[in-house]
Copies of this chain bind each other. A is one copy, B any other.
Amino acid sequence: MASITFTDYASSATARLLPFTGTNFRSNGVVFFRRLVNPLSVRTTSFRSLTIRSSSTSPPVVTAAMGSEAVAKVIDGKLVTKKIREEITAEVSKMKDEIGVVPGLAVILVGERKDSATYHMNEQKILNAVSIEKDVDGFHPLNIGRLAMRGREPLFVPCTPKGCIELLHRYGVEIKGKRAAVIGRSNIVGMPAALLLQREDATISIVHSRTKNPEEITRQADIIIAAVGQPNMVKGNWIKPGAVIIDVGINPVEDSKSARGYRLVGDVCYEEACKVASAITPVPGGVGPMTIAMLLSNTLSSAKRINNLQ
């Protein structure tokens, strides 16, 4: 059988992981499916321990990057996430007080067990089966289409690219009129990230595996979003001095010094980049936690919309 879990944060202060019985969906619950093999499984795993804390936090602050030659500010995803979770907590509390409703999020994990595989599940069919009003991942083609079109609004923006843009906003990075290079063109990160940047009047270039001179194009960009899944691919000499870098990559590389035998690095060579860029997200602690926060944000939006709240 596929491994199936149901997550429901029934109060604004805690998240609970409940077994899914197949009938205990809340009427305003949000359901999504995710194959464990996809790159976002890390995120799904993190989600198991998801909590929304109501403790007070400081606004995001800029901290110095590591290394004596570092010039880049660190864009601290953990701090921003803490702030966003507080904002969501407050909104959920208000919603609960006013109409007695708390948003619910259902997660169905489909594993790689052979007995599961016999069902030959089709990703497109499953994604299409999710109601667009509950597509908190924002992966439905109708959402992507609306994202691409001027004058249209998607119901949900995919969580990781939404998190990238939110980081730029919260750190006051101007997007309008800037050159932006998006490295990677996946349906769930690269492409929607490029569409979002363009919606905010950046001039985008999309770099991918067939691009002949990726370093040349990347070097022209004021904003770089790297989402390609290649450890340390973007070197210091790919980066325009003063550029802002959002690194989506989460790549395990061998590290005998680590107890686990590996450490996580981004798509950008941090040690080199932090000497050239004006600001950069660390890995981990950059985009990763933002993805989860944006999933909560989308879940809240869904619940508000279903309940006709602003």
The interface of chain A, by Cβ under 8 A from chain B, is 124, 140-152, 176-177, 179, 185-187, 191, 195, 198, 201, 203-208, 210-212, 217
Assess the B206–A201 pair: CB atoms within 8 A.
Answer: no
- CB contacts (< 8 Å) of A211 on chain B: these are 177, 203
Q: Which residues of B contact A207 (CB under 8 A)?
A: 203
Min Cβ gap A183→B in Å is: 11
Q: Which residues from chain B contact A186 at a C-beta distance below 8 Å? A: 150
Residue among A195, A201, A206, A217 having the largest count of chain B Cβ atoms under 10 Å: A206
Task: Report the separation of the CA atoms of residues A212 and B202 in the bound assembly, to the nearest whole angstrom.
Answer: 10
CA of A150 to CA of B191, assembled, Å: 9
The interface residues of chain A, by DSSP majority, are classed as mixed
**A-B contacts, 29 listed (Cβ < 8 Å):** A124-B151, A140-B145, A141-B142, A141-B145, A143-B145, A144-B144, A144-B145, A144-B149, A145-B146, A145-B147, A148-B148, A148-B187, A148-B191, A148-B195, A149-B187, A149-B191, A150-B185, A150-B186, A150-B187, A151-B187, A152-B187, A177-B212, A179-B212, A198-B208, A203-B208, A203-B210, A203-B212, A203-B217, A204-B206
Report Cα–Cα, A198/B208, bound state, in Å: 9
| A202 → B minimal CB distance (Å) | 8
**Which residues of chain B have C-beta atoms less than 8 A from A148's C-beta?**
141, 144-145, 148, 187, 191, 195
Most-contacted residue by chain B among A146, A149, A179, A207 (CB, 10 A): A149
Q: Is the CB of B152 within 8 A of A124?
A: yes
Complex alpha-carbon distance, A124 and B145, angstroms: 13
Q: Which 6 A-B pairs have the closest CB atoms?
A: A145-B145, A141-B145, A144-B145, A201-B210, A205-B205, A203-B211
Q: Within 8 Å CB of A206, what residues of B? A: 198, 203-204
CA distance A149 to B217 in the complex (A): 23
Q: Chain B contacts of A151 at CB under 8 A?
A: 124, 187
Question: Which partner residue on chain B sits nearest A190 by CB separation?
Answer: B150
Q: Given A141-B145, A145-B147, 5 more contacts at CB 8 Å?
A: A143-B145, A152-B187, A177-B211, A201-B210, A203-B208
